[in-house]
Amino acid sequence: MSGFDDPKEKETILEEYFELLRFPSVGADPARLKNCVDCAMWLKKWLSPQGFAVELMQAPKMLGTPPVVFAERRGSEGAPTILFYGHYDVQPEDPLDAWETPPFEPTLKDDGRVYCRGAQDDKGQFFAFLCGMRNFLESGPETIPTIKIVLEGQEESGSAALTALAPEIKDRLRADVLLVCDTGAAAEMRPAIMAGLRGVSHINIRLDAATHDLHSGEHGGIAPNPAQGIAELVASLHNPDGSIAVRGFCDRVTPPTDEERAAAEAAAVSPEEYEKITGVAPVGGEEGFTLTERNSFRPTIEVNGIHTGYGGPGAKTVIPASAIARLSMRLVPDQIPADAMAAIERHLRQHTPRGMRLSIEERTDGAAGFRLPLASPVFRLAASVLKEMDPRGAVYQWDGASIPVVSTLKTCSGAAPLIVGFGQPEDRIHAPNESYGLHQFERAMEWARRILGALA
């Protein structure tokens, strides 16, 4: 065995891991483009000694976006082709004052966890897999699959560049299996195979009224108030029972099969466990559905942020001239992203409060969700490998989160997706004090060694 069993190799891996984490590669921020390019260059430099031919690619007509890292290492004659996907971009670090350590200075604490933005999502997960891949290649196996690697810098903001690029290079993406390490294990680190992911779309809206902020005494009761209007507008998206009120949005929602529902419930977290993890009872969403159904098989519309008026100390008695809301939609299989977005826009325009002007500042139709057949041969192989790693065996999960470009890569590569990750709720991805345990890192390395050997 290699990896963390060797103290010297462990030191080398952690040194490399920390170098990767120090890049503030926030792909959604144009001001961080150079940081993203530097991170991509570092990955090219790291992969090349492993025998990979590595290119940094730009999507057609999308210059000025983080590059896509594409790497390929030819394998043994007749061996299958593996396509591995990950992303090197990370979420913004705000709010800074909530971090206990600098967000881009990795810190290994006594609890055995590395704290840093991207420690888990997805730098920690994909880099652990790549380190396990390196162990596998260095072990001198008799048969080696052809390995292709795609690492992008825009997953957290919609994967626009890779989505545009993938059809242009689909012949180079051709593979038998698509491996992804960007999801979570079940409770107590029991292995989990992702049998489906929801799709995701985004829209940012703006309400305008007066040409400037108004005195709330002189104009209150007369001028339309965008702060109040944005609250009314986002509240109109849902019915009192939590169901989605947007006409046409849920028309194509296909419920899970009895087999899928049973498998999902078998791996479900209890309401009590959920409240312990998050500090809040799981009472959001539609009435009449279980926690697991709401998270895995139902679409959602969520308000990610509302920005308006005065937010400083004390009081400032104004009627703000404008208000902004940021919305995201999680989509389930058979929903068409463009149709869902059209339904949202139609609803927002129909419910714009009087005296205010609605504008769409940004929208991303995103990608559709998908569910995979439980009888898939690659699932059976993965379950066998994971049983060797953990005698409890693997469970199947349908993740409520999204990796938007996986649907595109699945279509362009023709590969069977196999999504296995080792995240845990305490990792706090997308939040301050994100972290990843070294035991999780080791498990991802072991998974890479074993699954590549099994596929070969």
Neighbouring C-beta atoms of residue 82, cutoff 10 Å: 25
Roughly what angle, to the nearest 10 degrees, separates helices 7-21 and 123-138? 140
Of all residues in the chain, the percent with pLDDT exceeding 70 is 99
**Measured distance CA(142)–CA(289) in Å, rounded:** 50
pLDDT tens per residue, range 223-259? 999 999 999 999 999 999 999 999 999 999 999 999 9
User: What is the model's pLDDT at position 268?
Assistant: 84
Q: Specify which residues 238 forms β-bridges with.
A: 244
Mean pLDDT of 278-284: 94
Q: Determine whether 129 is exposed, middle or buried from the number of CB atoms within 10 Å of its CB (0-12, 13-18, 19+).
A: buried
368 pLDDT band (50/70/90 cuts)? confident
CATH class of 7-198+369-455: alpha beta
DSSP per residue over 330-369, as a string? EE-TT--HHHHHHHHHHHHHHTPPTT-EEEEEEEEEEE--
- The predicted model gives 143-172 an average pLDDT of 95
Domain range list for the chain? 7-198+369-455, 200-253+299-366
Q: How far is residue 233's CA from residue 96's CA, in Å, rounded to a whole number?
A: 30
Which pLDDT value is given to residue 126? 98
Is 416 within 8 Å of 378 (Cβ atoms)?
A: yes
pLDDT of residue 105: 98
Single-letter amino acid, residue 225 = N
Of 160-174, 284-298, 321-335, 367-381, the least confident: 367-381
Is the predicted pLDDT of residue 36 greater than 70, yes or no? Answer: yes
Calpha distance 196→199 (Å, rounded): 10
Query: Model confidence at 1, in pLDDT bands (50, 70, 90)?
Result: low
3-state SS assignment for residue 164: helix
Phi, psi dihedral angles at 22 (to 5 degrees):
-70, -15
User: H or E element: which one contains 195?
Assistant: strand 192-197
Residue 381 clears pLDDT 70, i.e. is over it = yes
CB 79 within 8 A of CB 144: yes
Q: Mean pLDDT score of the chain, rounded to an integer? A: 95
pLDDT in tens, 53-71: 999 999 888 889 999 999 9
Residue 310 CB partners (closer than 8 Å, separation 6+): 316, 318, 320
Residue 147 has pLDDT above 80, yes or no: yes
- In which band, very low, low, confident or very high, does the pLDDT at 117 lie, cut at 50, 70 and 90? very high
Q: Residue 380 class from Cβ within 10 Å (0-12 exposed, 13-18 middle, 19+ buried)?
A: exposed
Query: What pTM does this model have?
Result: 0.83
pLDDT of residue 62: 85
- What is the Cα–Cα distance from 448 to 345, expressed in whole angstroms? 43
Any idea which architecture 200-253+299-366 has in CATH? 2-Layer Sandwich (3.30)
Token pair belonging to 131: 């380190």
**Which letter does DSSP use for residue 423 in this model?**
B
SS3 198: coil
CB 383 within 8 A of CB 393: yes
Residue entry with tokens 């888990």: 120
DSSP assignment letter at 269: P
Cα dist from 42 to 25, 102, 141, 161, whole Å? 12, 21, 27, 20
Q: Are 67 and 58 in contact (CB under 8 A)?
A: yes
Q: What is the DSSP string of 14-42?
A: HHHHHHHHTS---TT-GGGHHHHHHHHHH
User: Is 60 exceeded by the pLDDT of residue 286?
Assistant: yes
* Whether pLDDT at 291 is above 60: yes
Of the pLDDT bands very low, low, confident and very high (cuts 50, 70, 90), residue 404 is confident
Position 4 confidence tier, pLDDT thresholds 50, 70, 90: confident
Pair 174, 80: CB distance under 8 Å: no
Mean pLDDT of 90-96: 96
Q: Which helix (H) or strand (E) holds 208?
A: strand 199-208
What span, in angstroms and rounded, lies between the C-alpha atoms of 59 and 70? 12
Between the alpha carbon of residue 11 and those of residues 4, 125, 167, 413, 441, the distances in Å are: 8, 18, 40, 36, 13
Radius of gyration of the chain (CA): 23
Compute the average pLDDT of residues 332-342.
93
Each residue of 184-218: pLDDT tens digit? 999 899 999 999 989 889 999 999 999 999 999 99
Q: How far apart are the first and last CA of the chain?
A: 18
With a cut of 70, say whether residue 2 has pLDDT above it. no
